[in-house]
Structure 1
Amino acid sequence: MTVDVVLPCLNEAEALPWVLERVPAGWRAIVVDNGSTDGSPGIARELGATVVRESRRGFGAACHAGLTAAEADIVCFCDCDASLDPGLLAPFARSVADGQTDLMLGRRRPKGSGAWPLHARAGNLALSWMLRRRTGLDLHDLGPMRAARREDLLGLRLTDRRSGYPLQMVVRAADAGWRVREVDVPYLPRAGKSKVTGTWRGTWQTVHDMRRVLAEAGDGR
């Protein structure tokens, strides 16, 4: 089993040491720099990560750049802000490698004050409900921690390059008949300032992007 873990990164200099030291031994960390101005790419290289630059801003753009740069049999995704421990991805990868599941997702369980702002949690709950209605999958989170086979992910032909990328991945996987499963993972207060769901505006944009993905899926596009 070979594994690459994709870590989308925008000004995460404070979090990178904590994150990269927890990547399982033998895995390749792919840090996708999405326009950092705090020296994040240099720090990542010094710590042994492969750095990929993606000039197009957007969570989906960064994730997909990492996926296309990956070479391993299995690709994992994890936020790069120290809110999630990439070491917890080891059983995710094993489950996929052993053929027990096709897409493994982490259901975030907040630990500590400020780990998950109320407005972000409310948006996630609403979208998860819509996802269950759309796919019939018993899922409760659209979190970024996940694992699947690289070739299978590329075969989904994901097109969203904004916040809807994680949702589009799940919807297309469900439509393709994948076995999708989620397990609980601790969700910690992030290091530094959130660029997405840490603000009402960021949460609104995320919900808007994901609702657009669901609408497109409902239209059969």
Structure 2
Amino acid sequence: MDNTQHDPWAETVDVILPALNEAAGIRWLLPRLPEGHRAIVVDNGSTDGTDDIAEAGGALVVHEPTRGFGAACFAGLSAATAPIVAFMDADASFDPVDLPRVTGPVASGEVDLMLGARSPLDRSTAWPAHARLANRFLAWELRRRAGLTLTDLGPMRAAHREHLLELQLTDRRSGWPLEMVLRAADAGWRIEEVPVQYLTRAGRSKVTGTLRGTLTAVADMGRILGERDG
């Protein structure tokens, strides 16, 4: 008789980590992944050995040569096999120990899409003012256009893999997170958010770390909003 107890989290969640030169972040976060959460690191053209560090840390490594946040996320989603997928920045700005707060309600069937609302420990360094302002504007647009009472377009998020594929997301740049939320809302998904820690990232962000990066992301998301209205 097999007395082995079944772990309900075993192979339940694939955590997709888009990465472009995130060696330090990957080295820190992989050992912190909770049980039942497998890392899929999508190397988006790194030159700092991110892929080697990820593989050595036990992650599944996917190479996506087409640059873009959405391109990396889609490559990870395509490679995932677990019933639930989570997305998280690979720069150590999120602590993986918070993942069950985001993935748990999806696994239990309470929520269809859960977002991690960023709660910065050091607001000045973890979340610069220009990035907070842009996020506040996008959250307002989501409330106005989709009736969603969200405070943050959180990069840490989770949903069922098959349901995400059915949304047929097309953006391959910075508009991916917004397109996901809008399409999920249009499909009648239950969308909620939960606070998660937001830390000072390892290295400089390609988006929030510079005003230009933030403006580019806002432009991409503005395009998504325009396409929806059209």
Give the CA RMSD over aligned residues: 0.9
Q: Kindly report which structure 2 residues correspond to 1:1-221, keeping only aligned pairs within 5 A, or say none.
A: 1=9, 2-112=12-122, 113-219=124-230
Once the two structures are TM-superposed, the CA of residue 26 in structure 1 deviates from its matched residue by 2.8
Partners of 1:78 and 1:93 lie apart in 2 by: 11
TM-score by length of 2: 0.93
Q: Partners in 2 of 1:45 and 1:126 — Cα distance?
A: 38
TM-score, scaled relative to structure 1: 0.97
Q: Is the 8 A contact 2:98 2:197 kept in 1?
A: no
Give, in angstroms, the shift of residue 83 of structure 1.
0.4
Separation in 2 of the partners of 1:20 and 1:11?
15
The 8 Å contact of residues 117 and 194 in structure 2, kept in 1 or not, is answered as yes
Matched residue SS, 1:55: coil
Q: CA deviation at 1:154?
A: 0.3
1:183 counterpart SS class:
strand
| Larger displacement relative to structure 2 (119-128 or 153-162) | 119-128
SS in 1 for 2:127: coil
Deviations 1:60-88 (CA, angstroms, capped at 9, x unpaired): 11111100100000000100000001221
Contiguous gaps of at least 5 residues in structure 1:
none
- Check whether the contact 2:101–2:194 (CA below 8 A) recurs between aligned residues: no
Measure, in 1, the Cα distance between the counterparts of 2:73 and 2:103.
Answer: 17
Q: Return the letter of the residue paired with 2:203.
A: G
Report the Cα offset of residue 12 of structure 1: 0.6
Gaps of 5+ in 2: 1-8
Distance (whole Å) between structure 2 residues aligned to residue 146 and residue 80 of structure 1: 13
Question: Which piece of structure 1 moves more, 82-91 or 58-67?
Answer: 82-91
* Equivalent residue letter for 2:17: L
Residue by residue over 1:14-48, the C-alpha shift from the partner in whole angstroms, topping out at 9 and shown as x without a partner, is: 11121111111232100000000000000000010
For the pair shown, which has the larger CA radius of gyration, 1 or 2?
Answer: 2
Identical counterparts, % of pairs? 63
Q: Residue type matched to 2:105 in 1?
A: S
Give the number of aligned pairs: 219
Q: What is the one-letter code of the residue matched to 1:51?
A: V
Please give the alpha-carbon distance, in whole angstroms, between the structure 2 residues aligned to 1:26 and 1:131.
32
C-alpha distance after superposition, 1:177-219 (max 9, x if no partner): 0000001111100001111121010000000000110111112
| 2:82/2:161 contact within 8 Å kept | yes
Secondary structure of the equivalent of 1:15?
A: helix
After TM superposition, what 4+ stretches of structure 1 lie above 6 angstroms from structure 2?
none
Measure, in 2, the Cα distance between the counterparts of 1:146 and 1:42. Answer: 26
